[in-house]
Amino acid sequence: MFPHERSLVKRLEGKPFVLIGVNGDGNDQDLKKKNEKEKITWRSFKNDRPEQGSITDEWNHEGWPTLFVIDHKGIIREKWLGSPGDKVLDEAIDKYVKLADKESP
Amino acid sequence: MRVLLLTAAFMLSWQAWTGAVQDSKQPKQISLAERAKALEADVQKKLESISKRLQEVKDETERDKLQDEATSLQKGMAKDLLKLARDHAADPEAFTVLKKLTAMGGFPEGQKEAAQLMLANHIAKAGIGEEAPLLANVDPELALRFARAVSERNPNKADQAIALFTIGALLKQQAIAEQSDAKRDRLVAEAGKALETAKTKAQDVKLGDNPLAVFIRSQLAGLKNVGQLIAGKPVPDITGEDLDGKSFKLSDYRGKVVLLDFWAHW
């Protein structure tokens, strides 16, 4: 998953697109090191929140990874439990990025 | 490897259980519980010998063969226990035998029949509630029927609480899979009612090693989002902290296409 995400972020640089994570590693002391090693530069929420409870509980999470594509207006467009594969992912994202470009140039 | 570990774990837990009762004296009239234990002790001996051989064996094929042998012994025992419980279903001691069967796992048909027998004969027994969530993974429909019967007919608060929690969790699952908005809303409302009622009865109740209240809270947390986390619907906002501890919101990125990725290093 990571290599494709890295190239996705790079390919869509300057476009109306952002990759946001919800990270489930908890209090892993080595998380920073691991992220550096995998060159994970995108921003992630910590899944565990001390006061609100976990994001996964709130989102009825069924398994890792789960992916959502949300369009520029904040409408959910795709939801996948498990990666749908690079091609399907790219096509969906490109479709909505193009739409975002067209509607807010 | 995983199978091997599972088998070992199974043997250990079972040893602890049968070991504890082997010293008890045999009454003249052999009770159901004792018949069950005799049956198990016999299989246990055989399993112990397989376990010893497994430690020495080096050849993969030989190991697989021994594993298969252990599995079929366990299945055979489960079948024999089930028959014993079936033949004396109304005997109060049958409940203990049936509970052992459902805890065994890896024997779904037996687990289902055991649940049916409990449902028909032991619904008011203390400790039957925790059977409902166990059953949920095997047969959700039967689990729902089972949990409803417990919640309506069992007098114990703890059993009612666990049954109601199971009803709530199962109805929520149905709601998530439901396509029609109206039906989904109805299921969510029903699930909410069951979970809220479970919450009022959950004090001091445990499910496994954890407080039941924790499981109930976790089920309730996402209930409002069941009808929202669907393609075509506005995304619920997320507020939280990033990995550096800085607060931010998902809606900070409105105007951009977001790929939201629930990920971890594993």
Annotated domain spans of chain A: 2-103
The tens digit of pLDDT for each residue in A60-81 reads: 999 999 999 999 999 999 999 9
**Phi then psi for A87, rounded to 5 degrees?**
-65, -50
Q: How far is CA B80 from CA B35, B76, B98, B226, B248, in A?
A: 11, 6, 12, 44, 59
Say if residue B9's pLDDT is above 60.
Answer: no
User: Which residues of chain A does B176 touch, with a Cβ-Cβ cutoff of 8 Å?
Assistant: 60
Return the pLDDT at B3: 47
Return the pLDDT at B16: 46
- Say if A49 is an interface residue toward chain B (CB within 8 Å): yes
Q: Quick one: CA dihedral A32, A58, B172, A83, positive or negative?
A: negative
ipTM: 0.96
Q: Are B111 and B101 in contact (CB under 8 A)?
A: yes
Q: B227 to chain A, minimum CA–CA distance in Å?
A: 11
Overall average pLDDT of the A38-45 stretch: 91
Nearest Cα neighbor of B105 from B84, B77, B134 is B134
Provide the 3-class DSSP secondary structure of residue B249: strand
Q: A103 to chain B, minimum CA–CA distance in Å?
A: 10
Q: Are B94 and B85 in contact (CB under 8 A)?
A: yes
Which CATH entry fits the domain spanning A2-103: 3.30.1360.30, 3.10.580.10, 3.40.30.10, 3.30.1540.10?
3.40.30.10
B19 exposure class (CB count in 10 Å sphere: 0-12, 13-18, 19+): exposed
Q: What is the pTM of this model?
A: 0.82
The tens digit of pLDDT for each residue in B125-166 reads: 999 999 999 999 899 999 999 999 999 999 999 999 999 999
Say if residue B201's pLDDT is above 90.
Answer: yes
The number of beta carbons lying within 10 Å of the beta carbon of residue B245 is 7
Contact B260 A97 (CB under 8 A): no
Overall average pLDDT of the B83-100 stretch: 94
